């Protein structure tokens, strides 16, 4: 047993040095991520706010395309091409921060809206329902991917607001029925 002590002590020392180097590298990388995370979050938030604004502007144009009876098919197509092109350009320019699938969804959101006006009543209802669902999902995904949805859940857990009233209760009832 005494013959192993001279060898055992240097081996333990070498293992300690190796463990220290690995632990130091782990802590250094973690600190670097924590240093850049707030900057990246702010940048992503700004970009996703811009994407949501593009969708809101596109929704206004889509409403005009759907409701204005004096527009021809070509005029409706030209009008709705503007927000589609703007969203496609925006998502491409910010592809480092915007999820590819979400960017594709948002770009395709207004495609086909120009056909809703001329559709038959039964088909028109389904096309409108699909468009509104896609728009709602786009906004939900933006909130989820940007981190806002999680922060809002955290604030609600901290504040525990008791929001109610006749309108709010009716909205909750409609949501339950829709599910």
Euclidean distance between CA atoms 172 and 35, whole angstroms: 41
pLDDT at 143: 95
Residue 57 CA to chain centroid, in angstroms?
Answer: 17
Return d(Cα 164, Cα 121) in angstroms, integer.
37
pLDDT band at 1 (very low <50, low <70, confident <90, very high): low
Per residue in 129-162, pLDDT tens? 999 999 999 999 999 999 888 888 888 888 777 8
137-to-14, 106, 113, 131 alpha-carbon distances in Å: 56, 9, 16, 10
Residue 57 CA: distances (Å) to CA of 28, 47, 54, 82, 83: 44, 15, 5, 10, 7
What are phi and psi for residue 125, nearest 5 degrees?
A: -60, -45
Q: In 10 A of CB 153, how many CB atoms? A: 10
Tokens of 21: 């180097």
Considering only residues 80 and 150, tell me which one the structure prediction assigns the higher pLDDT: 80
Considering the chain, what is the average pLDDT of its residues? 88
Give the per-residue pLDDT at 2.
Answer: 64
pTM over 0.85: no
Cα–Cα dist 158/5, whole Å? 57
pLDDT at residue 177, rounded to an integer: 87
Token couple for 2: 């005494």
């Amino acid at each position: 047993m005494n013959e192993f002590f001279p060898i055992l002590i240097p081996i333990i020392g070498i293992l300690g040095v190796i463990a220290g180097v690995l632990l130091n590298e782990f802590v250094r990388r973690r600190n670097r991520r924590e240093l850049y995370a707030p900057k990246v979050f702010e940048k992503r938030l700004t970009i996703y706010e811009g994407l949501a604004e593009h969708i809101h502007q596109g929704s206004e144009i889509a409403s005009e395309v759907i409701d204005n009876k004096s527009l021809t098919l070509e005029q409706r197509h030209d009008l709705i091409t503007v927000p589609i092109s703007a969203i496609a350009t925006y998502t491409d320019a910010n592809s480092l921060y915007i999820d590819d699938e979400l960017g594709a969804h948002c770009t395709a959101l207004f495609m086909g809206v120009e056909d809703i006006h001329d559709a038959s009543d039964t088909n028109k209802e389904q096309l409108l329902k699909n468009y509104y669902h896609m728009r709602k999902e786009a906004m939900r995904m933006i909130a989820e991917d940007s981190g806002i949805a999680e922060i809002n859940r955290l604030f609600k857990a901290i504040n525990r607001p008791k929001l109610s009233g006749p309108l709010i209760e009716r909205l909750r009832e409609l949501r339950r029925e829709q599910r």
